[in-house]
Structure 1
Amino acid sequence: MTGRVVSLRIRRSFLVGLSLATMLSGCDMAPRYNPTKLKLPAQWEGQEHGVLQSARPADDAIRPDWWTMLGDPELNRLEEQAMRLNADIQAQAEAFMQARDMAMEAKSHLYPQVSGAAGGEKYKGSRHRLWRGAGSQGPVYMSSEQYSGTASWEPDFWSAIRNKVRMAKQGTQAAAAAYALARLSLQAELASDYVALRGLDAQDAVYRDSIRYYQTAVQVTKMRLAGAIAPGMDVSRAETQLYTTQAQETEVHTQRDVMEHAIAVLVNQAPASFHIAPVQHLAFADVQPPVALPSTLLERRPDIAEAERRMAQANRAIGVSRAAFYPHITFNAMTGFMDNGFDLASLSNSMYQFGVQALLPLFQGGLRRAELQRNWSQYRQQEDLYRSTVLDAFQEVEDNLTRTTRLKTEAGQQSNAVDAALHTQTMTMALYTGGLTNYLDVVVAQVAALNARIALVQVQTRAVNARVELIRALGGGWSRADLPQSDKIMPFQPLQYGHLRHAAPLAGISTQGDPAAADLTSGDANVSHPLDRSGAHR
């Protein structure tokens, strides 16, 4: 009966300890997380001119493949190529994968850590060693084999480990937002570069048209000089205008080549093997993106979501620092066998030990308090950075709303200027041919017409790029709902030992590379010029 009573007491003590550990493990030292509540404007200032309309809640707003709004099949193909093969995007996906692994590393400390060990040794002592008398029969050889298993577990009484896990998960969500921001930045950069390239194509077409006109003008001045009805200065002025325009066209070719090289790198192609056929005019669809209310911008911008997740991380770090003020308790146990030969059948060769350790630093010169104060400061810093990110986002939207509105008006005004300048150029040339004016007036009219046409193309290019930048500023179709859910972040299960090279895709992010990424000399985005590079295009 006595043994039974002792056994009951042991069980009761174990249950009491387990209950106490369970209760203590619910202690969360992190402060309640209350994200900063920002007072936001009710409407965008840039919409007061009535050009853009607010998107209704039922609207689809901006689509994830927002670049299709521009109506350019070539741009659509380039964007698809970049999303599959761009090295920076793939590297960002790997950073997201590493963040998931860090979350798994943090979570592993919630489980008991179990390890096994095996070893064997054999020793030989000297027969003439000190204190060994003559004729001694003591052993000279000795062997030892041991097999053991150890286990240790740290009960998370103060939620220090769980707060580290939550921090890692929030860091993973921040990495997912960073990935979305990298994708959006790449999409906008590629679209902007492509629009700029097509703008240079349109400028090149204007220069080539003007060069043909100026070549005719040179012929006219030479004919009039040959007939002794015009001075040689007219020929010089006409040739100066022609050669200056040819030099300007060459500069446009230089800018186009450089822009084409930039696009090649974005779509994972070596510039030497990548070419885009030129066009004559800007032909992008004049579609205005739907603009949601300012209050929804916080849910649409990946950089704002990343800043908010960093703030949540800093909040959890405070809980980890607070837990350092309480005892650090660890349970450990070891069992195994040890013998001077391979004989595990004998229980007398068994060994074990178990224990519990509690560590409470009593004096560290303010170390823990400094860490806690630093974490509070880091939280406030992240809070300030979050507010700064929101303000920057609002500025970008307002800036591009203004540009979109004003450039559309400017393009109409510049178009009128082009019509007037071309009319003046035609009339002045007719007057000169009839001998009613001098060639200086013709040159002035030609310069004005060329500058007006180039300015119109530049304004139209900037207007399209303003729409691209507005879409990027509005989040490009991304939503906070695209972030990975906290309970699905772990890349594998605790007892999973296979398929570890690549984790399953999460939130649309995969680390499975495309085999085509290794080929930098050709690809889907490679488009050859229909004209030889030394021909009419140049």
Structure 2
Amino acid sequence: MKPESSPSSPTVSPPSARRRGRWRMTTALAGVLSIGLASCDLAPNYHPQKFLYPEGWEGKGPMVNASPADGAVRSDWWTMFSDPVLNGLEQRMLTANPDLQAAAEAFTQARDVARETESRLYPQVTGAAHMSDNKGSIGRLYNNPARSSSLVYESNQAYSGAATWEPDFWDSIRNTTRMQKNLAQASAAEYAVARLGLEAELASDYIALRGLDAQNAVYDDSIRYFRAAVEITELRQAGSIGAGLDVSRAETQLYSAQAGKSNLIARRDVMEHAIAVLLNTAPASFHIAPVKDVKMHFGVVKIDAGLPSVLLERRPDIASSERQMAAAARAIGVSRAAFYPHITFSAQGGFEDGGFDLASISRAFWKIAVQAVEPAFTGGLRRAALQRSWSQYREMVDNYRSVVLSAFQDVEDGLTQTRQFKIAQDQQQKAVEAALRTQSMTMALYTGGLSNYLDALVAQQDALQARLSEVEVQTAQVQSSVRLVRALGGGWSTADLPGIKQIDPFGPLQYRDLRTPKSVSGIDSHISTLDNDLRGNQASVSGVKGLTGRP
């Protein structure tokens, strides 16, 4: 390849002329750069949607009348139940849950996509070098065997560099970058949604498991009572003062209660398996010891629901939807920029020689080019893309409003349930007291021969069902507290979202420590040798087999 410019060429300008030419080119490039930095942002002015809503909650319950110091939801909200086993399980889940770790990696990938887009703002520089040694054939095309030898050797060596840069006159690249960073922020909020959901699921499952322990204690107590009733009916039958029908009825009640307990144990095992999976543990090596004396009084926790306007800042799903809406606004600017010329600057230079004399300036070549492309007619392509961008933005606005309404519904549901379940719990406790009195009196009357066993049997069934229902209502009441905490955001706020400048996973000149990015907003991408240990030996939780051993 012949050099495009050579000092030995008779058309080369004098040194002073060359310096003036370089000065003009430098000035022109500086002007273009300044214009690019002062480019035109074609995205519409974005402002989050404003809503009109009531100033309070309709479903007010006993859990909202607390001082902010006591009732404000914290990030470790599960500690308000004062259960050390639950605290340990939550910490273990946050460390090893695979779904949560996958959500962290999704955030990392969103950060990297934003970095890839932002890299287009910088000049793209490449280098190249090649060396070849070639032998020509005597039978090659257009060769005259009489005038050339049979062996023709040719060699070529060259090294060069090239740079291309697209001045972002219309903020197409910048808006695309901001759009990707907004989407990365949405991914961070989605991580918070996943974390809160897993925290609430684990707490709800654990509360349900303890509720099953409480029901199991009710069955144990009732089975002892029913077994004693069978013995009484058998004694009365042996003394010819009782009928065999009474024995059969007593045995039916006893065996039915035993079957109910067996079914309860199966349900508890399934719930335990679900907890094990949340903790990255194989169910076969996991066991939570049952509690004999279960009191479903985790405490009437005090939760400050705050104002509806504050909820918009405490729900990560609302934040995610809002960031997607902001990204859609930036996409409009990208579509608008497509109507303007696409300008690119490029430069290439190096040395090339048929031998090894590459250092000589006469062997140099260079090329500087400017390219501007403006489609003249596209049949409505760009207009359709712009209209689609506006439609996508309006879709995001509609989705945002839907998410806000769903959030209000979740809080109202939680407040209503905590209030009504507390009322139902008080009422069911009175029903249990009445059922136990009836059971005691009818059994005494039957033992004394003043009543038949059918009355005693009905009273026993009513007492058992009333006690089981009491535990179910107590469990539902505590679980409703978990749902209310989740509806209120679980202590999260928009201040926990990473800022735009924090999205970049590394700097433009960073070439080390690229395997995992620096942690941002507590979202950590990590690889641990313990992740693949499904035996559950990685943490210490008292009372849990697989974490400390069977108690």
- In the superposition, the TM-score normalised over structure 1's length comes to 0.94
Q: Deviations along 1:229-276, whole A, 9 cap, x unmatched?
A: 011000000000001111111111011000000000101111000000
Q: How does 1:93-104 map to 2 (within 5 A)?
A: 93-104=104-115
SS of equivalent residue, structure 1 residue 342: coil
Out of 276, 292, 303, the residue aligned to residue 288 of structure 2 is 276
CA–CA distance in structure 2, aligned partners of residues 509 and 50 of structure 1: 35
Q: Does 1:255 align with 2:267?
A: yes
Q: How does 1:119-134 map to 2 (within 5 A)?
A: 119-129=130-140, 131-134=142-145
Are 1:41 and 1:294, in contact at CA under 8 Å, matched by a contact in 2? yes
Q: Deviations along 1:102-151, whole A, 9 cap, x unmatched?
A: 11111110000000111122222222445444542467111111111111
Are 1:115 and 1:151, in contact at CA under 8 Å, matched by a contact in 2? yes
Are 1:275 and 1:527, in contact at CA under 8 Å, matched by a contact in 2? no
CA–CA distance in structure 2, aligned partners of residues 338 and 20 of structure 1: 31
Query: What runs of 5+ residues in structure 2 fail to find an aligned partner?
Result: 1-12, 546-551
CA–CA distance in structure 1, aligned partners of residues 400 and 472 of structure 2: 36
SS of equivalent residue, structure 1 residue 237: helix
Q: Does 1:109 align with 2:120?
A: yes
Out of 90, 93, 104, the residue aligned to residue 82 of structure 1 is 93
Aligned to 2:478: 464
CA–CA distance in structure 1, aligned partners of residues 213 and 187 of structure 2: 39
SS of equivalent residue, structure 1 residue 145: strand
2:266 counterpart letter in structure 1 = T
Q: Deviations along 1:407-450, whole A, 9 cap, x unmatched?
A: 10110010000000000000000000000010000110001101
The 10-residue stretch of structure 1 (237-246 or 19-28) with the greater mean CA deviation from structure 2: 19-28
SS of equivalent residue, structure 1 residue 263: helix
CA–CA distance in structure 2, aligned partners of residues 176 and 226 of structure 1: 74
Query: What runs of 5+ residues in structure 1 fail to find an aligned partner?
Result: 531-538
Are 2:111 and 2:181, in contact at CA under 8 Å, matched by a contact in 1? yes
Out of 506, 512, 522, the residue aligned to residue 536 of structure 2 is 522
Compute the displacement of 1:502 (Å).
Answer: 1.2
Q: How does 1:17-166 map to 2 (within 5 A)?
A: 18-24=30-36, 25-47=38-60, 52-53=64-65, 56=68, 61-129=72-140, 131-137=142-148, 140-166=152-178
Aligned to 1:171: 183
Compute the displacement of 1:491 (Å).
Answer: 1.1
Are 1:54 and 1:293, in contact at CA under 8 Å, matched by a contact in 2? no
Compute the displacement of 1:529 (Å).
Answer: 7.5
Cα distance, 1:428–1:314 mapped onto 2, change above 3 Å: same
Aligned to 1:513: 527
Aligned to 1:298: 312
2:532 counterpart letter in structure 1 = A
1:273 counterpart letter in structure 2 = S
CA RMSD of aligned residues (A): 2.0
CA–CA distance in structure 2, aligned partners of residues 392 and 526 of structure 1: 36
Are 1:44 and 1:398, in contact at CA under 8 Å, matched by a contact in 2? yes
CA–CA distance in structure 2, aligned partners of residues 526 and 50 of structure 1: 32
User: For this pair of structures, how many residues does the alignment match?
Assistant: 528
Q: How does 1:84-483 map to 2 (within 5 A)?
A: 84-129=95-140, 131-137=142-148, 140-279=152-291, 280-281=293-294, 282-483=296-497
CA–CA distance in structure 2, aligned partners of residues 496 and 528 of structure 1: 47
CA–CA distance in structure 2, aligned partners of residues 259 and 171 of structure 1: 36
Compute the displacement of 1:338 (Å).
Answer: 1.2
CA–CA distance in structure 1, aligned partners of residues 521 and 78 of structure 2: 21
- Percent of aligned pairs with the same residue? 55
Out of 458, 473, 485, the residue aligned to residue 499 of structure 2 is 485
CA–CA distance in structure 2, aligned partners of residues 336 and 2 of structure 1: 22
Cα distance, 1:55–1:325 mapped onto 2, change above 3 Å: farther
